[in-house]
Structure 1
Amino acid sequence: MSRLAPLSEEPINEDQDAAYCSKKAQTWPNWIKNHFSLLSKKKSNLKILLSFLGCPLFPVSVHPKQPITEVSSSAQYIIEHFRAGDRLPETGGEGKEHMVPNKWLIELVVSGHKIVAGSDGKVAWRQTPWLGIHTTKGSVRPLRRALQGLDPVAVSAVFSLAQYTGEKRILGVDCFVLKLSVDQTDLAERSDNTIEMIKHVMFSYFSHRSGLLVFLEDSYLTRIQSPGASPTYWEITTGTKIEDYRTVEGVMIAHTGQSRTIITRFGGNLKAGLAIRRMEETWMIDDLAFNVRGLSTECFIPPEEVQENYPEEVFDWRSPLHQ
């Protein structure tokens, strides 16, 4: 069996071939063609919502490459304030320390439409009824959703290496602002001969008073050009309000939030000019627990289709972690 082609997280030109998709699955270009313009159909709207808001990945990995010594003193102060507000122990405590930070799994079902995404720490994948199962490009990164106040340890690890850009009042809250930009190497890993990731930037807003993360803003720009066609550009911006922090086993966890995404397409031969799509998601957590009994690393084993197309050593479950 041939190796699964990685699936870009970004939209693909409508006239690009179906190389990214399995024979049984509908291609991403065809899905865009058939559904993106059908604004009146609720099922199509749900597919778009699940694709762009359901389980996108964070711009950078939990373990950034830069040494901690390169962090500005201002950013260090903000993160220490966050750790104190979130009651995170300095060395990680029982139930709070990340033993396998790159292993995660999420399932979302809305009105009969289901999307699944997961990572075993080495390979990340996504599965939808309209695209089938595909691996994702670039390094393994956490879910953006996990950093929306749900995973304080990851928030601390990632944003401790961010750049301090000043202060801003947002949603009535005075905040410190930290900026994370994806470097050119990572952008290149997520690009190919037709899709170029131009930028991916995220801003985090930490409350002056509580130190907690109250807002995330994520923006990325993609250039798409198939052979013989004019280039088109997709800019996708998502802002997430994070609130209702409650203590769960000594850790402050956000229990409600709201995300708004604007998808803008321009360039190429678009007769109508800019194509803009807006989406909104409101979420609430009913229950949350750490150290769930019966949950093991085997829960994060990739689907058979993914395992069959990667070297055996990638899926060696005999490592010390599993003994």
Structure 2
Amino acid sequence: MDQSISSLHMRKLCPNLEREDALDTVLEVPLPEEMFPNRKGGSSSSSTDQDNHYAWLKSQAFNKATDTPPPMLSGRTAELQLLLSVIGSPLIPMPVPFDTAFSNRSVCESSIQASTAKYILQQYIAATGGQAALTSVQSMYVVGKVRMSSSEFHMGNDNSSAAAAVPPSITRNGKSEIGGFVLWQKNPELWFFELIMAGCKMSAGCNGKLAWRQSCSEKSHASRGPPRPLRRSLQGLDPRSTANLFVDAVCIGEKIINDEECFILKLEVSPNVLKSRSASSFDIIRHTVWGYFSQRTGLLMQLEDSHLLRMKSGCSRISASTQISCKSINNDSSIFWETFMESIIDDYRYIDGINIAHNGRTVVTLFRYGEGSINHKRRLEECWTIEEADFNLHGLAMDSFLPPSDLKVDCD
């Protein structure tokens, strides 16, 4: 990699042991050696102005009418960036309203499904510490470890052209990669996240007005749409935001998760938010979130979301010999990507009166299909463990959440 091992570090909060009333100290902590790959076999990173998640999707969007596929991200770097962006640092699909779950909202005019969901959320609030404890939290700090892996492509057909379309570096089974992360958060919409894995460092954040992402192989850029929380925060770490997220959800039934009978809350992202997150090259058609809450404990046991995206075709990707106009291929040649993410949440423990999850497992399945495309799917997996967490930090200023100076705002 073009970034030296000595420069790879994460910021960690250390208390002042000599004076209890003094501010805590932020230290630059080096990462364990097992997080780094063998540098002799490493490949150099490439630079791009686009989000590598969508860049990876675009690189897979060629069809049988195309003479040559668009350029791929290079080998191991492409795999690492896919893991870091898709499963390492995804955002919640919509803005989370601030503390609406704790207001005295009438349920008289709500449907049975909506009023049942509000009752389930009240049980969840009580199970995670109660309203007084949750609303007293103004900031949070979390350190954890992750282990990620990805499967090979599973093709929808076995013809030779399909096999030739996917480079060998992508089709082979990847080994598990070990990494670590640190998350800083301050209510209502401020957060900063760093993740290091296999020598690659990625950071993301939100200053209340926009969310952004940056890594060693891409320039910093802003996420499309309104500012949204990091999905990792709602995987059992931030009960306050979780309750606010599902405040307008409906209860659609029950399901057994890990031998626990759970209520299912469903939330559909509004068309306006989907439109704000779309771009000229892709449309987000739908995004749905499900939360599974234990009937026995009231805690969130599983979080799921499903995301359907359409990659639009362009004239630059059709050869001159086909003589196909842009208007005629807008619908027929579109490629659809469906992303399904499932997180099992476990090991709840109290820290300062707040009941948060300390480990879990997330599985992401990517499906690609479309008229004339080479259909395939693949599977990404992450296991995480929380090693350290604390609330209401001293001295956590706005400067901790400033975006990079080279931030690119208008990015597809």
TM-score in same-fold range (> 0.5): yes
Report what 1:13 is aligned to.
Answer: 58
Higher relative contact order (CA 8 A, sep 6+): 2
SS of the residue 1:189 aligns to: helix
Distance 1:85 1:8 in 2: 38
Question: Structure 1 runs of 4+ off > 4 angstroms?
Answer: 5-12, 64-71, 90-93, 96-99
Report what 1:22 is aligned to.
Answer: none
Report what 2:385 is aligned to.
Answer: 284
Shift of 1:8: 9.2
Distance 1:309 1:231 in 2: 26
Residue 34, structure 1, aligned to residue 73, structure 2: yes
- Paired-residue identity, %: 36
- Name the amino acid aligned to 1:123: L
Distance 1:84 1:9 in 2: 37
Distance 1:138 1:8 in 2: 17
Distance 1:161 1:6 in 2: 33
Taking a change above 3 Å as real, the CA distance of residues 297 and 289 of structure 1, as seen in their structure-2 partners, is same
Residue 296, structure 1, aligned to residue 389, structure 2: no
Report what 2:89 is aligned to.
Answer: 55
Shift of 1:224: 0.8
SS of the residue 2:248 aligns to: coil
Aligned partners of 2:287 and 2:306 also within 8 Å: yes
Shift of 1:44: 3.8
Aligned partners of 2:202 and 2:216 also within 8 Å: yes
Report what 1:318 is aligned to.
Answer: none
Aligned partners of 1:6 and 1:135 also within 8 Å: no
Report what 1:147 is aligned to.
Answer: 234
Q: 1:213 aligns with which of 300, 304, 322?
A: 300
Shift of 1:195: 0.6
Report what 2:64 is aligned to.
Answer: none
Structure 1: where are the runs of 5+ without partners?
A: 17-28, 311-323
Q: 2:217 aligns with which of 108, 130, 140?
A: 130
Aligned partners of 2:344 and 2:361 also within 8 Å: yes
Residue 260, structure 1, aligned to residue 363, structure 2: yes
Report what 1:81 is aligned to.
Answer: 123
Q: 1:45 aligns with which of 55, 68, 79?
A: 79
Residue 237, structure 1, aligned to residue 346, structure 2: no
Taking a change above 3 Å as real, the CA distance of residues 99 and 134 of structure 1, as seen in their structure-2 partners, is closer
User: If you compute each CA radius of gyration, which structure gives the higher value, 1 or 2?
Assistant: 2
Over aligned residues, Cα RMSD in angstroms? Answer: 2.7
Distance 1:13 1:46 in 2: 17
Distance 1:82 1:214 in 2: 11
TM-score normalised by the chain length of structure 2 = 0.64
Aligned partners of 1:75 and 1:162 also within 8 Å: yes
Aligned partners of 1:13 and 1:226 also within 8 Å: no
Count of residues in correspondence between the two structures: 284
For residues 111-156 of structure 1, what are the alpha-carbon distances to aligned partners after superposition, in whole Å with 9 as ceiling and x for unaligned? Answer: 1011111000001100022321100100111011100000000011
